Amino acid sequence: MTALTGCQTISDVSSQMGDLFSSLTSEDQPATIPASTDRKATPVASAIEPRMLSGTVRRELVHSGDSFTLDGSEVSLFGIDALEALQTCEKEEQDLPCGEMARNALIGFTAGQTVTCIPVYYSSAEKAWISQCTIGDFNLSSAMIQSGFATISKDPSLILSDQQALARHQKRGMWGTRFEMPASWRSMHPTAIFSPRQN
């Protein structure tokens, strides 16, 4: 799997993921299956009081395309549902590691940057703070939608809905493949390892 290095823009990630799709669907490159991420040693911070989180996100603590650990707390991006890390999609009759590609996209966006997350609410079922996370004015939920590796779950402003419609029209990321919606995939794979909110 090609690693993303340095802070990435939406165009950077879309281009690199497009190149990766091409390489994976070439005759010389077999599809790969993403490795699972060991998260057993990651502590979960107390959910009694919400607090703004800020810091850098270590690569190994990005669990999926919409979840990571920041400052000892589990965080899920508000308003979106990304492909799970073990989830695959299909293009040109080949299975592709789209879930790992979604995770790589989020790693690319956050690499070396200060991420600020403002909790919207804590979900005991998801075991994570559902948060609006930004790098300056750069919104991570929006970035993942625009890159085509996440779908909307809640969108009061309809901004994400419009961005998803454009990503789908342009066949970015997973929209250029055949895939199961993340929630449907989770229901069909109840024993798989999911991001924090599904544990």
Q: Cα angle vertex 11, ends 132, 156, to 5°?
A: 30
The percentage of residues in the chain with a pLDDT greater than 70, rounded to a whole number, is 71
- At residue 156, the 3 state secondary structure works out as coil
Under a CB-based contact definition with an 8 Å cutoff, are residues 65 and 149 in contact?
Answer: yes
Which pLDDT tens digit goes with each residue over 22-34?
Answer: 444 444 433 332 3
Dist. CA 180–CA 119, nearest whole Å: 28
Rounded to a whole number of angstroms, the distance between the first and last alpha carbons of the chain is 25
- Torsion from C-alpha of 149, 151, 156, 162, nearest 10 degrees: 70
Is the entire prediction scored with pTM above 0.75?
no
Dist. CA 8–CA 1, nearest whole Å: 17
Query: What pLDDT shows up at residue 33?
Result: 27
Show Cβ contacts of residue 45 under 8 Å, excluding neighbours closer than 6 positions.
Answer: 71, 72, 73, 74
Q: How confident is the model at residue 195 (pLDDT cuts 50, 70, 90)?
A: low
